[in-house]
């Protein structure tokens, strides 16, 4: 039995409530950057936090290291910072616009 088959078999045994929580967790892992109207003005943010991507990018542009960012934002992980960098590379104009509007 493959890992995929084992996982699907395990998921089928979960009660609906736990299955929904598991789905939300997996979704969070797969989509660490989110946009939600009414939260952070609709700006891209990290997971379920109120930390906009543009805020982290701004600090990085000012020379903040990953270690400093993780210290100052203890709820973030290195994977979150990697997701921010990937999102910025793919959406540079959007994030630069948010940064310029904040200045």
Q: How many CA atoms does the CB half-sphere of 58 hold within 13 Å?
A: 14
50 and 22, same domain (yes or no): no
Residue 13 half-sphere exposure toward CB, CA atoms < 13 A? 5
Residue 19: which residues within 8 A CB-CB, separation 6 or more?
A: 11
Total tally of structural domains belonging to the chain: 2
Query: Bigger pLDDT: 103 or 76?
Result: 76
Residues 24 and 46 in one domain: no
Predicted pLDDT at 28? 64
The pTM assigned to this predicted structure is: 0.73
Q: Are residues 69 and 95 in the same domain?
A: yes
What percentage of the chain reaches a pLDDT higher than 70? 97
- Based on the domain organization, do 21 and 70 belong to the same domain? no
pLDDT in tens, 42-57: 999 999 899 999 999 9
In DSSP terms, 46 is beta-bridged to: 33
């Amino acid at each position: 039995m493959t890992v995929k088959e084992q996982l699907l078999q395990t998921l089928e045994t979960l009660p609906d409530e736990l299955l929904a929580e598991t789905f939300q967790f997996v979704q969070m892992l797969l989509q660490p950057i989110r946009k939600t109207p009414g939260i952070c003005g609709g700006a891209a943010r990290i997971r379920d936090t109120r930390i906009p991507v543009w805020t982290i990018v701004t600090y990085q542009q000012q020379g903040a290291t990953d270690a400093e960012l993780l210290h100052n934002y203890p709820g973030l992980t290195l994977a979150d910072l990697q997701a921010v960098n990937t999102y910025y590379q793919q959406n540079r104009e959007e994030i630069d616009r948010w940064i310029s509007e904040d200045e």
